[in-house]
Structure formats: C-alpha cells, structure tokens
Structure 1
C-alpha cells in the first residue's frame, strides 16, 4: 500500500511538473518562426530592451498599390543590451506571426546585422510584397539578442502602410479657346484633351456662366463644345 502511494505521488508530481513546463514554454514562445543568436529558436524568457527600437521607412511612403513590391529599410537604434554583437532582425511571419506580417511576402523574413558600441546598426533593406486586399496594415519588426543560457533581449518597431488603388484625377491638356474676347452673338469653340490613368473618359463637362454643358468627344481624347452666349 505504501509503495502504491509513493508511485501515485511520483506520477502526480511528474504530471504537474510537465504541465507547468509546457505552460512556461507556450507562454514564452514570443517569436515562433524567428531564430535568435546561438539558439535554434526563441523560446524561453526574453526581455524588451529598455531603450532600443527599430526605425522603419519605405521607398513607397505609407501607401502602396495592391500586390506592389516595395522596399522597407530598417535601422536598429539605442539597443544597448546588444552592443558589439551580431544579432538577428526581421519580420516574424509565421503563425500567428507578429502584427500583419503574415499577410505580406518577404524576400527573406530574417537577416543578421551587427550592433556597434553605441547600440546602433547600419541600414538594412527588405523586399516586401503587399497583399491584394485594400486595407491599412501594421508591419512589425523585431531585433533579437539571444544567447543560449544567457539573458535575452529584443527591440521592435512598427510601420503602418495602407494598401489602396491610387485615385489620380483626370489630366487636362491642350486647352483651346477660339475667340477671346468674344463679341455678343458670336459662337465660341472650346477644345480640350482629357486623359485618365485608371480608366477611359467618356463624359466631360464645361461650366459656362454657372451652367454645366456636356462636351462632345470629336476624336481620341479630344472633347469640344460650341457656345454662343445669350447675354
């Protein structure tokens, strides 16, 4: 009976230990698809840098076209905990990933970079392809100083980008007015070339004396309206 109680107690203790260990691993798996320095993956406790952060800029600004490939340039700054080390930086994009990274495609999600004695890095470029869906997204970048058996730190930065089809206004060129000044009772002809980078133009209005008139498409992108003032 005493042996059975000891076995039962041992089994319960083992189960509790494994359950706690599993919880700790699950709770501290911050970067599931990211490899830290000297470690096969970023499991275990990891602390945010007290001063370090990542600066992110884009060659396309804060707005890109659907499915457009653009460049994100990152630089790590003030990461004092990683001074003089070669660390990893990038965009964790697995499941669940970080921010909206999983919605984008990257030429690589992770690259090594050296941190100088001031906690800063050189700039590093990532080629990024936007999703097709028009929305505002947050790209999240992490830099990890990870040493097996030692303290681990990370710095991060976000970049907000809007994926949208550009709304460029029509262009008006070669505006021609046949008579100026115009005498009473004489007819005047207005002519203009109208183009739109996104679609074809089929209707053009001209406002004369506070009234809109429809111009006629005479050839190609050229529209014309003949007008005789009434007053």
Structure 2
C-alpha cells in the first residue's frame, strides 16, 4: 500500500514536471538569450537624439536639445529573473536581461525633472534600432516595467523559435547602478521635479525618486535573489509550484 506521504511527493513531482520546460528547451532559451546579450554588447557608439522618441520626450515636458548624448554599449549585461533563479515555468516563458546604463551617457544632475527617464528611453531606442537590423531577431516590441509608463522595456523575439516555448522572448531592462548620488534621491525630503510645488514651496517627490532608486538597485536585488535560489533546490521547486 502506498503511503500518504509518498503519494503527495509523487503528485508534487508530477506537477513540477508539468510546470517546468524540458532541459533541452531551457538550454535553447539560454542560448537565444546569450545571443541577444551579445548583440546588445556589440551596438556601436553613436549619437542618441531626442527625435528617436519625440512623443515620449514631449509627454515628459522636456526640451529635446538637453537630452542628446553619445551612446556607449552597456557596461554589464546579465541574466536575472526566473532563469537565473532556476524557477522557469510554462506556458509563458521569458528571460530577463539587465542592461547597465553607462555613466558616460548621463550628467550628474540627470536625476532631475525626468531627464533620467528620457535618456533611459533613448538608450533603448538605439538598442532597438540595432536589434531590428539583425537576422537573429524576428521582432522587437515595447512594454513597460512594473506598468510604469515612464520606464519602458524591450521585448525581443529571437528568429529561431523554440517548439516547446512558443512566444519566448527576452526582456531588456535598463539598470542604473551607481549612476547618481543616493542622497539626492531621499524619499522623504528631496524634490526632484521642480514643477511639483505647493504654495510656491517645493514638495518631496517620493514616487519619482523611488522610480530611479528602483533601477539603481535592480542588479543588487537580482544578485541576492539569484544567489539565494541558486543552490537551494527545494526553494526553486516551491517557487515553481507557487507560480
């Protein structure tokens, strides 16, 4: 007679098999993600101008002439999310690539008045244009990070589709590690959108400040999550079952 404990373990094992893609498809997804990462690293230096995202810049209320910069390839491109944590589940599978924005593309005070968000978008525009010209890429589309309209991300679909993972794509997420002085983004005291005032007095902008801080700590958070899950099989399995 099969014990209740053994029966539960067997059911959980079957659930995990159903939820997880095969090792072969995960390997193919990893290779496709690596290829996208290499393409991004190889984007040549060039001038980035506000005209590439004129509507976005206009909605932020910024002057185009203050946003031009010399594009440089990212300092770091690294895997994050469920692929890095060993907790990929079907049916909707995507891989996250964190792309570190180079300091050379920003001025010291670009944390003010949405200039960071505008340049972040323009940086992605350069990457998008380059990826669209590659035969390794089938499609590139835009989305948002955490549903925040001022923080777009790219969804990159490799040309070679993976049979077991239809619709697989790579999500390109910019990061801003060490880009600005953290004290300038204090949530309770700093006003970084000069138009936000009350009775002529600048008010703190915690949500705006947090939007930038989130990008500044994405890599650190990804490193912590990845290292925590990396060698903890039961935690990986628990996350797969929760998803």
Q: TM-score, normalised by structure 2?
A: 0.25
Which structure has the greater CA radius of gyration? Answer: 1
Greater helix percent: which structure? 2
Using CA pairs below 8 Å that are at least 6 residues apart, which structure has the higher relative contact order? 2
